[in-house]
Structure 1
């Protein structure tokens, strides 16, 4: 089973942030799930990386627009109810690479 407690999310966020050059990630917007509400972890991310963490209002997916958009793109490869614990990291990386290398009108 996929573990989604505040400490596993903290570790995943730290790992993700560290993959990018310093200053690339400026903010993170979370939903109000229990895995994001541990204030010590929020403060740790903000102070360690200089990143501001924001919370979307309940029932307001439009406040996380880019997140919802990219979730939709990912669902083209992994429709609901795909169990992501059965998807290999290599498969996921290939899907993300395909999404990230698509021509986009906004980017001309």
Structure 2
């Protein structure tokens, strides 16, 4: 998972890679390697404190609309995952002033001097 995450992360412009906040899940067990390779500041939320990462929690809920908790992702095709990814990236979000994540990141790419 770390290698796939690093590959996608590298595609972002540097000004969009200032820091990351992880929860304490097993999926981030190799965070030290990622941090060393990316040179990005990494922070951790406190255990059992979902209010410290509300966008993460909201997104997990949106994903569960498609894949209930306990879904075996080995049984889900890459095509299915990509379809859900596209739908979620096109869904307007209150935290983005009702703009979609796709529109927001596209706008930020176009204006890379925003930070």
Aligned partner (choices 89, 93, 98) of residue 107 of structure 1: 98
Runs of 4+ in 1 over 3 A off after TM superposition: 33-40
TM-score (norm 1): 0.72
Gaps in structure 1 of 5+ consecutive residues: 1-7
Q: Quick one: higher RCO (CA 8 Å, sep 6+), 1 or 2?
A: 1
Contact 2:35 2:41 (C-alpha < 8 Å) held by counterparts: no
Residue aligning to 1:30: 22
Gaps in structure 2 of 5+ consecutive residues: 100-115
Aligned partner (choices 51, 56, 60) of residue 62 of structure 1: 51
TM-score (norm 2): 0.68
Deviations 1:17-61 (CA, angstroms, capped at 9, x unpaired): 0232333232211122455355741541442xxx21110001101
How far apart, CA to CA, are the structure 1 residues paired with 2:87 and 2:14? Answer: 25
Contact 1:29 1:54 (C-alpha < 8 Å) held by counterparts: yes
- RMSD between superposed Cα atoms in Å: 2.3
